[in-house]
Amino acid sequence: MTQQIRRVAIIGGNRIPFARSNTTYSYASNQDMLTAALNGLINRYDLQGKKIGEVVAGSVIKHSRDFNLARECVLSTSLNPMTPATDIQQACGTGLQACMQVANKIALGHIDCGIAGGSDTT
């Protein structure tokens, strides 16, 4: 039995502005920054109250308060709180790994849509 692999597309994105290390975001937490990026995406694509297939996100350098970062960020947004979220961590590639996980789940038919992201601060 062969499974039909579905095509995957990136529909859009959002980010917070770049800043030099130890400047603008020096007092912002990973949760602050990732939540801001998610809120911008939600507003841009009118996703308020929507249940997304999954949000996969994380950061490389985590503080202990960043436990379950992706889930805490989803709960801090206007997405439907039933939206599942998975927290990941991979040196120099958290955002890319998040994209690959979401894409694989879409391709295999596990979810129809998802959000991938990452956040890091110093």
Tell how far CA 1 is from the center of its chain. Answer: 33
Alpha-carbon distance of 79 to 41, in angstroms, equals: 10
**pTM to 2 decimals?**
0.91
Mean pLDDT by 10 residues, the chain (122 residues): 87 92 89 96 98 96 87 98 96 92 97 94 68
pLDDT, residue 56, reads 98
Alpha-carbon distance of 84 to 92, in angstroms, equals: 24
pLDDT, residue 21, reads 85
> Residue 52 has which token pair?
């997304």
Q: Where are the domains of the chain?
A: 30-118
pLDDT, residue 102, reads 98
Strand segments, DSSP code E, in 1-122 are: 54-58, 85-88, 114-118
Residue 115's nearest CA partner among 77, 33, 103, 64 is: 103
Alpha-carbon distance of 113 to 119, in angstroms, equals: 21
Among 3.40.47.10, 3.10.20.30, 3.40.50.1370, 3.90.76.10, what is the CATH number of 30-118?
A: 3.40.47.10
> Residue 13 has which token pair?
């994105």
pLDDT, residue 1, reads 64
The β-bridge relationship of strands 114-118 and 54-58 is: parallel
Phi, psi of 72 (to 5 degrees): -60, -40
pLDDT, residue 122, reads 64
pLDDT, residue 61, reads 84
